[in-house]
Amino acid sequence: GAVVSQHPSRVICKSGTSVKIECRSLDFQATTMFWYRQFPKQSLMLMATSNEGSKATYEQGVEKDKFLINHASLTLSTLTVTSAHPEDSSFYICSATGLLSSYEQYFGPGTRLTVT
């Protein structure tokens, strides 16, 4: 089946710094990628939707200047958390849909971000 990877799997950064998370579709071209955020013992919340070559669409309440999303190619999307604060600590999960089946969505394994 289709595989989506995320890198890094875990990252610790200091408050005020920026951190980039990569999401890659390994064996298919991802027309659309999605970013989710999950707080401990809570559900996944959709943050934004990104299509290759265009600006991401953010869900209400998500700061686009803080969570920069770039979808530069059909296999890579990046989420950059800028000027991170401890409250940004969370589990970030990406997913992707492909050209062959737009209803099938493949989730990455997630990235645990801890801001100290």
Partner 1 sequence: AQSVTQPDIHITVSEGASLELRCNYSYGATPYLFWYVQSPGQGLQLLLKYFSGDTLVQGIKGFEAEFKRSQSSFNLRKPSVHWSDAAEYFCAVENTGNQFYFGTGTSLTVIP
* Among 19-27, 34-42, 69-77, 80-88, the segment contacting partner 1 (CB under 8 A): 34-42
105 lies in the site for partner 1, by CB under 8 A: yes
The piece of 16-24, 63-71, 74-82, 103-111 that touches partner 1 (CB under 8 A) is 103-111
Pairing state between β 111-115 and 76-81: unpaired
Look at the block and give the residue holding tokens 């934004």: 48
Would you count residue 34 as binding partner 1 (CB under 8 A)? yes
Beta strands in the chain (DSSP E): 4-7, 10-13, 19-25, 30-38, 44-51, 57-58, 67-73, 76-81, 90-98, 105-107, 111-115
Residues that bind partner 1 (CB under 8 A): 32, 34, 36, 41-46, 49, 91, 93, 95, 97, 102-103, 105, 107-110, 112
